[in-house]
């Protein structure tokens, strides 16, 4: 048993988590990172659907379940924007559990103690020198936003506001210039 544990520790020692997006903005292989998120570009959609051209080249239509009480699409729906979708299949149709507009997520975000920019390619830069533990990288993993070591649910992503939640609380940011 000890040898097995030792072998596992050695095997996992050099593993680093891979960024969801590469420098070109393409998604990494979701199977390799155990990520259940589907990544792609919105090519069409309506009030209750998104048609996504996935990074694998498939065209999938995701519907909003009419029984959902919360808005499952965060960041609005604009053709040409990149999305991260967590979906499920029911009665032969694809439904969205959550959808994050990655294009809307990019940009400067400010709160009382943080001032950072989420950039394409998975990097985050901080504008505050006094910031404790500044975030340096980001990715979407299983429908959650991971900023360095912190994992958040995206509660709200609007044109000018970003609301993130984890076990430590709810964090609200406004878009900077």
Q: Is residue 16 part of a domain?
A: no
Unique residue bearing structure tokens 């000018």:
160
CA-based end-to-end distance of the chain: 56
Q: Is residue 18 part of a domain?
A: no
Q: Is residue 24 part of a domain?
A: no
- CA separation, residue 115 to residues 21, 61, 76 (Å): 22, 36, 23
Q: What is the pLDDT of residues 59-116, one digit of tens each?
A: 999 999 888 877 899 999 999 999 999 999 998 999 999 999 999 999 999 998 899 9
Name the H helices within the chain.
2-13, 102-105
Kindly report the CATH number assigned to the domain that includes residue 112: 2.40.128
Domain carrying residue 165: 105-175
What's the pTM? 0.78
Q: Is residue 1 part of a domain?
A: no
Q: Is residue 60 part of a domain?
A: yes
Final residue of a domain: which of 67, 86, 102? 102
Q: How far apart are CA 6 and CA 10, in angstroms?
A: 6
Kindly report the CATH number assigned to the domain that includes residue 68: 2.40.50.140
Final residue of a domain: which of 81, 102, 123? 102
Final residue of a domain: which of 83, 102, 121? 102
* DSSP structural state of residue 27: B
Residues 62 and 110 in one domain: no
Q: Is residue 164 part of a domain?
A: yes
Distance of CA 30 to the CA centre of its chain: 13
Q: What is the pLDDT of residues 129-158, one digit of tens each?
A: 777 888 999 999 999 999 999 999 999 999
Residues 91 and 114 in one domain: no
Q: How far apart are CA 122 and CA 145, in angstroms?
A: 11
Q: Is residue 27 part of a domain?
A: no
Residues 82 and 111 in one domain: no
Q: Is residue 133 part of a domain?
A: yes
Closest CA to 64 of 93, 42, 35: 93
Q: Is the pLDDT of residue 14 over 60?
A: no
């Amino acid at each position: 048993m000890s040898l097995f544990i030792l072998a596992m520790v050695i095997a996992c020692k050099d593993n680093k988590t891979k960024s969801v997006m590469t420098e070109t903005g393409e998604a990494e292989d979701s199977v390799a990172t155990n990520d259940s998120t589907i990544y792609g570009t919105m090519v069409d959609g309506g009030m209750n659907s998104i048609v996504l051209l996935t990074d694998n080249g498939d065209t999938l239509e995701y519907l909003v379940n009419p029984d959902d009480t919360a808005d499952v699409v965060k960041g609005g729906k604009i053709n040409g924007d990149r999305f991260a979708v967590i979906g499920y299949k029911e009665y032969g149709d694809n439904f969205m559990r959550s959808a994050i507009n990655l294009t809307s997520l990019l940009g400067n975000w400010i709160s009382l103690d943080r001032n950072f920019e989420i950039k394409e390619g998975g990097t985050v830069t901080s504008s505050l020198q006094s910031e404790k533990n500044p975030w340096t990288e980001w990715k979407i993993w299983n429908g959650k936003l991971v900023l360095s070591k912190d994992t958040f649910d995206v509660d709200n992503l609007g044109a000018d506001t970003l609301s993130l939640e984890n076990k430590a609380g709810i964090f609200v940011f406004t878009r900077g210039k």
